[in-house]
Structure formats: structure tokens, C-alpha cells
Amino acid sequence: MMDQILPFSRNPFKKSFKELPEYNPVMPLVLYNTLNRQKEIFHPISPSEVKLYTCGPTVYDFAHIGNFRTYLFEDILRRWLASKYNVIQVMNITDVDDKTIRRSKEKGIPLHEYTHDYINFFFEDLLSLKIEPAEYYPRATDHIQEMVQIIQDLLEKKIAYQGEDKSIYYDVSKFPEYGKLAHIEVKELKSGARVSHDEYDKEEASDFALWKAWDKEDGNVFWETSLGKGRPGWHIECSAMSMKYLGHHFDIHTGGVDNIFPHHQNEIAQSEAHTGEKFVNYWLHAEHLIVEGKKMSKSLGNFYTVRDILKKGFSPLALRYFYVSSHYRSKLNFTLQGLQGAESSVHRIRDFILRLKSAHGASYPELPEVLNKAYQEFKEGMDDDLNTPRATAAVHESINHLNTPLEEKSISREQAQEVIQFFLHADKILGLNLDEILKESHIPQEIQKLISERESARKNKDYRKADEIRKALQEKHFIIEDTPSGPRVKRIESIS
Ligand SMILES: [Zn+2]
């Protein structure tokens, strides 16, 4: 039930970065830890394995492009960690909370059926953006018992109490470190005030619900447990599921910045009060995505799901590249023009790879230096708190540098293979399917025949025939460009 694995194969690249020469062995992986508000050298608890918990979707609607900014950041993190360690990643599915219950009631569909569809849509979107699958996708409704046990323990420790509404609340005054992650002082909190809903602002901070006693608003969504008839609060779901799969104390926990408070703060309070151990070593958070400089909202008409973007004719890889090329801790301003730019960059990289494949020139003396620099910049960028703008710049700089020698046939076949290897390494992070393009890129016989017919027509100055053949090629989805070094053929492809 809990370990739903996506139906695509994991990228078989785990060892590839390890095989790289150590250009700068003193440079360790550094990550920005929200807990201490600084970049810190990453030391996993176990030397060869990283345990990673990523807050997953609340499946009441399609996830929007802001949500996917966070999931994409987590994918980059996962991929880079996997180049060094074995990674165990858990992403929960919140299939019961205030929002899922409200929506399923509005639609008149039983909760389980309602969330089932949105879980599937979520997995489809992950696939289209080439997000690598986590090891576990536990669902909240499959882990009610684990949640009840933690709450029971917190009641026994007198850290939780039952309110007059029969719901069970966490008493934040009993947890001295409450507020540390979000940098708010407990004394600023309203003493004795309580919130029962899942999401609230810092200004409202106060005791929060662990277990919500059933009321008629919840309809037929309830569990009969030792805590009474009701359902869990959102925050306890993540404490229970993370500790079940990763243990009491694990390496990294991530989410969007809006998860810092109250969600992640509450997770720390629940988990640490329950186990008496430190919960998580590194907390990483992705910044917001805004649209055309404004907060994304349905009322402003600037609200997009991944599907809305694809319907506009953009490829999912353009969207992926758009996310990758910005740093996860800067606000990302989404514009259609920016996305167009990302689409062009993807084409540029893919086109370059295809041209490399047919290179057979002289040897280029500067190549080792160019490649060394590219590898080093890429690796150092990624190790510096996943600085993907720097890493992608290394890719584009190598294209800038090698374009002319490639054009002038001064890169040998062997050298071109070395450059391709660099691109394939970079693609472990970029995720642009470069290996697939290399496989697909051979020019069919029929097309080759047309090309040479066109070349002879041109030599005989029969430009009309040459033009007809060009049109025929276009109909077969190939464009031909005449360059000083001869004709170059490109497949017109949709880059999905
Ligand atoms: Zn969570």
C-alpha cells in the first residue's frame, strides 16, 4: 500500500559522478540549513546513505507550478545526493486534511475516491517533468495508527491535552525550543489560545490540533480510535510517516518556505517531544514562485498548473529547465517569455549534442582545458548549496567555447565523445534526456539519399530541384542548413 513506486526506471547514474576525476577534493557539499540560518558542510548520519523526507502534495486539486518549483528543487537535491550517496527518500501524500475533506464534500465524491484521482494526476505530472521517484510514497490514511500512538504518548507526557471540544491539542509552552526553526519567540504566542485548522499564520501561533474530534463538517470521514472518533491534524501526519520510514533521527527534511511555519515547526515539536531525540539535522526550503512579479492566484488570473503550461504548447522539459536554471533559494519570477527562453536553451543544448555526434575534424588543442573548467564549474556550483545557475552556466560556456571549433571541423571524433560525456554527466542533474536524443538521432537512409540528391542538384546549379528537395525534407520533419562546411541536417522535433 505505502510504497507506490512510479512506473519508470531510476536513472542508472549513481556512480557516474564518482568516476569523475577529483578536480577539487577539498570542496565539500555545503547546504543552507534553515535551522541555523547558514550554509553548513553536509555530513550524513551514516557515511554512505542519506535519509531524506520531502513534504508531498495535499491531493485536493492539481499541484500548481509553484508547488512544482519545490518538487523540482527536491529532485535536484536528490539527484546530486545520489551522485555521492545511496538516497532513501520519502514523500508523503496528504489524503486527509481540511482541504481534501472540504473539496470532496463539495463535489459529492467519497474522500478516498476523490483523492485517488488527484494522486494519479500528481504522479503523471512528476513523470512529465522527469522527477525521479522517491523510495516511498506513504499515504496519511494508511498511517492513522502510527499517528494515534504518538499522540497517545504526548498525552501521557502531558505535552498534549484534550480541549473542551474533545479535540487533542499540543501545548507549545511545554516545548522550550518551540519557534526555533521559524525564529519566533514562544512568549509572543498567545498563551492558552488554540487553533484547530491546519494552516495558520505566525500571528495566530498557539496550541495546535493533533487530533480533531469528529464534527458534522467532516461527514463520514472519521476513525474510531483510543483517542475517540475523529481524524488527525495535518502536522502529525508528517511526523508519523517520516519517523516510520526513516527513523527518529534522520538527515534532511525539505519543503517550500511556507512550510517553515507552522508545519515544520510543529513537526519538530511533536517528534522531538515524543522521542527525546533530535529529529532532523538539515532543513532545506525552496523559495516562492511568483508570476509576472505578482503572487500567483486564481483571482488574478495568473494561476497555472503544469498542464496549463503544456496546453500552451511548451514542452515539459522547457518547464523543467526553467526551474533548474534558477537557484532554489531565490524567488523565481515565472513569465511566458522566460519559459520561451528556457525552451530555446533546451534546443541549443540538444542541437549541440547532435552536432557533436557527427564531428570528425582535427584535434582541438584547447579541449582538455575547456572540459576541465566545465567539469569543475559544474561540480563546484552543485556542491555550493545546489547552485544550478552556476552549473548550467558551465554547460552553456562550454557550448560558447566549442561552437566555432566544431563549426570549423577542428574537433576530432574522440574529443567530441569526451564532450558528449560531460554533457551526459551534466544531464544527470539537468534531466533533458540527452542520452535518448543521442540514440534517436541517426538520420534515416531515405533522408540521407535526399540530402545527397540535393547536393548534386546544387552542384549542377539546379536550384529549383534543390529547393523542392528541401521542401520534401521539411515535410519529413528535417531541416537542412547550408554552412561553409557543407549541409547540416536537423530533425524538427517536439522536445517532449
Ligand atoms: Zn509535511
From the CA of 93, how far away is ligand 1's center (Å)? 9
From the CA of 55, how far away is ligand 1's center (Å)? 4
Determine the average pLDDT of the residues in 30-46. 97
From the CA of 291, how far away is ligand 1's center (Å)? 25
Cβ neighbours of residue 460 closer than 8 Å, sequence gap 6 or more: none
What's the pLDDT score for residue 206? Answer: 84
Determine the average pLDDT of the residues in 125-137. 97
Q: Where in the chain is the domain with CATH 1.10.730.10?
A: 303-440
The model carries a pTM of 0.85
pLDDT band at 293 (very low <50, low <70, confident <90, very high): very high
pLDDT of 23 strictly over 60 = no
Run of H or E residues at 207: strand 207-213
| Three cell numbers, residue 485 | 562546411
DSSP labels, 229-262 = EEEE-HHHHHHHHHHHHH-SSEEEEEEEGGGIII
Query: Mean pLDDT of all residues in the chain?
Result: 90
From the CA of 463, how far away is ligand 1's center (Å)? 65
Distance CA 208, CA 50 (A): 31
Determine the average pLDDT of the residues in 308-330. 96
Lowest pLDDT segment from 2-11, 148-157, 196-205:
2-11
From the CA of 60, how far away is ligand 1's center (Å)? 15
What's the pLDDT score for residue 485? Answer: 60
From the CA of 373, how far away is ligand 1's center (Å)? 40
From the CA of 121, how far away is ligand 1's center (Å)? 19
From the CA of 259, how far away is ligand 1's center (Å)? 8
DSSP structure class, residue 264: I
CB atoms within 10 A of CB 420: 18
What's the pLDDT score for residue 244? Answer: 98
Question: Strands (DSSP E) along 243-347, which ranges?
Answer: 250-256, 280-286, 289-291, 294-295, 332-334
Are 158 and 274 a contacting pair, CB within 8 Å?
no
pLDDT of 310 strictly over 60 = yes
From the CA of 11, how far away is ligand 1's center (Å)? 26
Altogether, the residues listed in the chain come to a count of 496
pLDDT of 409 strictly over 60 = yes
pLDDT of 420 strictly over 90 = yes
Number of helices and strands (H, E) in the chain? Answer: 15, 17
Are 195 and 211 a contacting pair, CB within 8 Å?
no
H-type helices in 62-97, by residue range?
A: 65-82
What's the pLDDT score for residue 1? Answer: 35
Lowest pLDDT segment from 137-151, 322-336, 370-384, 478-492:
478-492
From the CA of 138, how far away is ligand 1's center (Å)? 12
Distance CA 456, CA 87 (A): 57
* CA-closest candidate to residue 457, choices 444, 442, 476, 472: 472
Distance CA 120, CA 111 (A): 15
pLDDT of 15 strictly over 50 = no
pLDDT band at 7 (very low <50, low <70, confident <90, very high): very low
From the CA of 236, how far away is ligand 1's center (Å)? 9
From the CA of 239, how far away is ligand 1's center (Å)? 8
DSSP structure class, residue 221: -
pLDDT of 232 strictly over 60 = yes
Determine the average pLDDT of the residues in 170-177. 92
427-454 pLDDT tens trace: 999 999 999 888 865 666 678 788 888 9
Question: Strands (DSSP E) along 73-152, which ranges?
Answer: 86-91
From the CA of 264, how far away is ligand 1's center (Å)? 7
From the CA of 229, how far away is ligand 1's center (Å)? 23
Determine the average pLDDT of the residues in 15-25. 45
55-106 pLDDT tens trace: 999 999 999 999 999 999 999 999 999 999 999 999 999 999 999 999 999 9
The fold of the 30-286 domain, in CATH, is: Rossmann fold (3.40.50)
Name the residue with higher pLDDT: 361 or 268. 268
Run of H or E residues at 40: strand 38-41
From the CA of 111, how far away is ligand 1's center (Å)? 20
CATH node for 303-440:
1.10.730.10
What's the pLDDT score for residue 426? Answer: 97
pLDDT band at 12 (very low <50, low <70, confident <90, very high): very low
What's the pLDDT score for residue 22? Answer: 47
Cβ neighbours of residue 380 closer than 8 Å, sequence gap 6 or more: 24, 27, 390
From the CA of 233, how far away is ligand 1's center (Å)? 11
What's the pLDDT score for residue 199? Answer: 78
Name the residue with higher pLDDT: 13 or 384. 384
What's the pLDDT score for residue 300? Answer: 87
